[in-house]
Amino acid sequence: MNLPRDSLILALALIAVPALAAAPKRPVAKPAAPAAAPAPALTATDLISQAQAAQVRGEKDLAVRLAQSAIVADPALPAAYNALGDLYAADGAADYARFYYRGALTIDPTDTDATKAMAALERGDDQRAAKADTNTQ
């Protein structure tokens, strides 16, 4: 059978079209939604504030973790060490408190908060009273 070339192409196309139509359809992937912008990283100062708020709420473990995170966020910030020292002092863990106050004084030997807190610990004063003295001056 000699079919003209155009007829042969047309016949093949007619055979192929139903086969393509019967092929399983793949789901069309939806374009990915734009990723949400990452939350801005908290600063050491933010973490200290959150630690103090957690302490007020009575969440001691959370307060300690937040103060520790403040030290990690900015290891050169004496206030971060003081915040953790204050938490330990308020909990009656004077040795831990001294360790962190010394850390603050290592960074800044003139840090008045750490100096006053260490003096209060040496006197055996209640740390909250020492903190009140620090806030009034």
The answer to whether 100 touches 88, Cβ cutoff 8 Å, is yes
What pLDDT band is residue 134 in, cutting at 50, 70 and 90?
A: very low
To the nearest 5 percent, what fractions of the chain are helix, strand and coil?
70, 0, 30
Which pLDDT does position 63 carry in this prediction? Answer: 96
Instruction: Name every residue whose Cβ is closer than 8 Å to that of residue 94 and which is 6 or more positions away in sequence.
Output: 88, 121
| pLDDT tens digits for range 13-27 | 555 555 555 556 667
| pLDDT tens digits for range 54-72 | 999 999 999 999 999 999 9
Nearest to 80 by CA among 92, 88, 72: 72
Flag whether pLDDT at 137 surpasses 50.
Answer: no
Q: Is 109 exposed, middle or buried (0-12, 13-18, 19+ CB in 10 A)?
A: exposed
Which pLDDT does position 43 carry in this prediction? Answer: 93
Which pLDDT does position 136 carry in this prediction? Answer: 43
Domains of the chain are 44-136 (1.25.40.10)
| pLDDT tens digits for range 95-113 | 999 999 999 999 999 999 9
